[in-house]
Structure formats: structure tokens, C-alpha cells
Structure 1
Amino acid sequence: MRKLFTILLIAGCAQLAWAGGMEDLESFVKTVKSGQADFTQVVTSPPRPGQAARSKTSSGTFEFLRPNRFRFLYEKPFKQSIVADGQTLWLYDADLNQVTARKQSQVLGSTPAALIAAAPDLQALRADFNLTDAPDQDGLQWAVAMPKAKDGPLQSVRVGFRLSDKGSELAVLEILDSFGQRSVLTFSQLQVNLPLAAGTFKFEPPTGADVVRQ
């Protein structure tokens, strides 16, 4: 489930006027239609009794085209792909040579990923989330999204923006799930509003791969 949340990376493709985190988020939702970036993801599990917390690091690239197409390519430490073509969400594990296919409408639901990818303004986001500014931290300005549903897999999402020579751009995405697992995604080489074709997000299962449809 945590990798489904990584599709919130599409939020990272905004370059905005430097303001509060909520103003940055609002401008992003209205103005950013496509983008691509490199990312590093660190997932930290809650510590067990008598043990330190454990972390795993992965990295790769992503692209998106609003309102409902995106592609995450994990390169290290293992090759994996998450591709949404507008109808189907494809998850491919190269080591297992296995593909899982799910209907986007059933999988994404009211997750932050679906809302941020499709919402035209903050009013649409507020249908499912309580949105607030958070204090500045680590040189970033932050917006926080708290899901209104109390029984979902997500506790909160924090979106951090940094000032650049082009204005304000999203730098960090922090996701806390209902099990206390924290996923921190850091973006680099960010480019926005690129002329990406819908065909960029077409996925064909590799020959011989085991395809599981759910």
C-alpha cells in the first residue's frame, strides 16, 4: 500500500510563488499540468521493543500528466514500476517478473494521490481532507493534509516547498500511514508543464510475466 502513496509524487512537480505552504499547494493544484523529476524515498518502520527503527532507501524517476496518468520507475535497489494509464494501475516487479493490474477507480479512491492528481482547486481537496499550514522547518514551508475518514490506511501527509531562483517548488513529501510507518520522498531535477504525450504512460506487460488482475 505504501507504494500507492508514492503516486503523490505528482504533487512534487510544482514551481510556485514563494508564500505559505497552503498558498503554494493551491497554486500547484491550479497550474501544474505535467512534470518529471528524480526522487529518493526513505521508508522507516516503527521500532520494535528493544530495537532501533529500520529504514530502507530506494530511488528512481517519475513523470505525470494530469489528471490521472503517472509513472514511477524504481531503479535502486530493485527495479519496479508503478504506471497509471488513466484506467488501470500497473505494478511490475522485475525480480519476480510479476505484474499486478487494478482499476484506478477502485484502488485510488479518496487517497491524497487521487485528489492531488485530479483536483482543480483546494475546495475539491477539502472534500476529503483537512488542510492546514504547518510551521516552517528545515528551510521549507509546509502544508498538511489530514484525511477526514478515520478508518483508512493513511494518518497524514506533509508537503514541503523550498524557495528557488524560479520561485517556490515542492521539495519533500512525508507520508505517515496507519501502522506508524513513515515514507519521506525527496525530489531533484524537477521540471514542470512539459509536453508529455498520453502514450508515455502506456504499459505493456513483459513477455512471459505473470499477470494478476484484481
Structure 2
Amino acid sequence: MSKHFNRFIRLRSLGAAASFLIAACALPAWAGGLDSLEQFVKGTRSGKAAFTQVVTAPAKDGQAARSKTQSGTFEFQRPGKFRFAYSKPFEQTIVADGRTLWLHDVDLNQVTARQQEQVLGSTPAAIVAAAPDLKALEKDFTLTEEPDAAGQQWVKAVPKSRDGQLQAIRIGFKPGAKGAELGTLEILDSFGQRSVLTFSQFEVNAAVPASHFQFTPPKGADVLRN
């Protein structure tokens, strides 16, 4: 093989390596999971996404674990406003307007209303839509960085209060053009039931109409206030 050909191959290899390094430097910085969490709660003031939720009940009495899948849309605006609109397989809406948490089961024509500050402290909603920064979260959760997996960075949040029904929450973040994007929420309750929400089409700091965080019980609905 001639010296000229060897030189050509070497130059091509060096050129490819240089191109790779330039491309890598152009990618957004991908910090640790806790940094991504802080970036998300401080920098993402609003957002919307589609989601799929898989709830798996633990195996018992010799029966295999059972799971069910739901899907819908999610919108939020800090501090403390959010809307989960489930469309499949059953229509259900959860709305937090900043003061009251509303749960509307369309099939049952039933509405449950609870004071928001009493129920959101150590919940996934506090992480996603309420907390202003990491210090606020650390009042209610013990936060631990976990290894990267499935193209996401992970943080485990364990509620400091053991009075609730949550055992642990895992939050996965994906890199996005505007910063860390919420990718996955894994929720394990004290009964061993696991709920995994996978988010897609996430829009960081999207404009969400204020009316989406308002709720009025439909006429004729059975309203329960706790």
C-alpha cells in the first residue's frame, strides 16, 4: 500500500475524530440527576405533554401481578397548578387550581374536592409542579442520585414523612433543547403497587391557558369534600 494512500486514510481518520469532537462539544451539557432536577424545578415554569401510565399491582395469593394502562395529557404551571386529563380507557380529570385539588370521574359522575395544601406535600405533584427549588423539595424528601439508564438521568425521592401512602418516587430526565425534560415518573406505594408514567412531546415553558387550571363541578354531579 503506498505512502500516499496511508496518509489519505490517516487524514480521513483524523478528520472524522475532529468532527466527532466538535459535534460532542455542540451538544448541551448533561449534568448529574440532582442538577437536572434542580434545573427542571427552577427553570421550567410551565409545560405540557402526553403521557402513558402503567399501574401494576403486586402478585398475591398465587396470582400473577396485574397491570392496567391509561393515557392522556398533562399540563402544569408553577406554583401548584396542574391538570391530568385521562382519556383512555376511562375519562377522568385531576385539576389543581392552587387551592383545591379536584378529581372528576366522568363515568361515575362524581367529583372529589380536597384542600391542596393538605395533600400535595410529599407527592409526585410537589416535584413536578409545586416546588420552587431543590431546597424546598429536601424539606419533604430525601433525594438520591441514581445511575443513568434508558437514556435518562435518575433521582430517587423518599418521603421523610412515613404517614402517607408513598414509599418512593423515581424521576427520570431527558436532555432537551431548552434544558432537562421530564421523561418518567415511577411511583411505588406502601402496598407494593407500582405506577410508571412515561411522558412524550414535552413542551418546556409552554403557554397554557389559565382556564385549564379552573374546575367547576358539572350539574348533577355528586360532590364529595374532604
Query: TM-score interval w.r.t. the shorter chain?
Result: 0.7 to 0.9
Specify the alignment match of 2:220 in structure 1.
208
Q: Which has the higher helix share?
A: 2
Task: Determine the C-alpha separation between the residues in 2 that align with 1:112 and 1:60.
Answer: 17
RMSD of the TM alignment (CA)? 1.7
The CA deviation at 1:74 is 0.4
| Partner in structure 2 of residue 130 of structure 1 | 142
- CA, structure 1 residues 205+28, in 2 after alignment: closer, same or farther (shift >3 Å)? same
Q: What's the TM-score once normalised by structure 2's chain length?
A: 0.82
Question: In 2 relative to 1, CA 158–19 (structure 1 residues): closer, same or farther, beyond 3 Å?
Answer: same
Report what 2:185 is aligned to.
173
With the length of structure 1 as denominator, give the TM-score of the two structures: 0.87
- 1:128-167 to 2 correspondences below 5 Å: 128-164=140-176, 167=179
Amino acid at match of 1:183: S
Runs ≥4 residues deviating over 3 A: 163-168
Q: Which residue of 2 aligns with 1:93?
A: 105
Question: For residues 114-153 of structure 1, what are the alpha-carbon distances to aligned partners after superposition, in whole Å with 9 as ceiling and x for unaligned?
Answer: 3543322211111111111101222221111111122321
Higher RCO (CA 8 Å, separation ≥ 6 residues): 1
The answer on 1:111 being equivalent to 2:123 is yes
How many equivalent pairs are there? 199
SS of aligned partner of 1:208: coil
Matching residue's letter, 1:107: V
Specify the structure having the higher radius of gyration (Cα).
2
Q: What secondary structure sits across from 1:109 in the alignment?
A: coil
- Measured in 2, the distance between the counterparts of 1:88 and 1:98 equals 16
Q: Which runs of 5+ in 2 are unaligned?
A: 1-27
The equivalent position to 1:46 in structure 2, one of 49, 58, 83, is 58
Identity in percent: 66
Q: Which amino acid aligns with 2:41?
A: V
- 1:6 alignment partner in structure 2: none
List runs of 5+ in structure 1 lacking aligned partners.
1-15
